[in-house]
Amino acid sequence: MNSPSPDLAQVAAALRQISHGLAALADALSGVSERSEEDRYLAVMTEWGHRGLTRHEASQLFRKHGFSPQATGGWVRGDWLEVRDDGKRYLTSRSLRWLSEQEAQS
């Protein structure tokens, strides 16, 4: 008897829901959710600085500050990050300017 094959789109959607729930739980346990989103942006950019990060390093940094690793793609599309020829991710001049403005305000 053949069992029906799973609908991969539904499986992927379910995995995303599980992942989102686990991320929320981790945030609650680590206290990340107590910081504002802007404070977390500032923390990511401050720690990142001018150095280039591999995909894995960038994902770890985003997770550390309560963001999904997939946020990297949105930051690239929004001109906050760029992927250079060496394959590493760097803050753009837009990001560095914003970071400088935030540091000047504090």
Q: How far apart are CA 57 and CA 63, in angstroms?
A: 10
- pTM equals 0.67
pLDDT tens for the chain, residues 1 to 106: 566 777 888 888 888 888 777 766 676 666 555 678 888 899 999 999 999 999 999 999 998 888 888 888 899 999 999 999 999 999 999 999 999 999 898 7
Residues in the chain: 106
Report helix angle 55-64 to 37-48, nearest 10. 140
Q: How far apart are CA 84 and CA 88, in angstroms?
A: 6
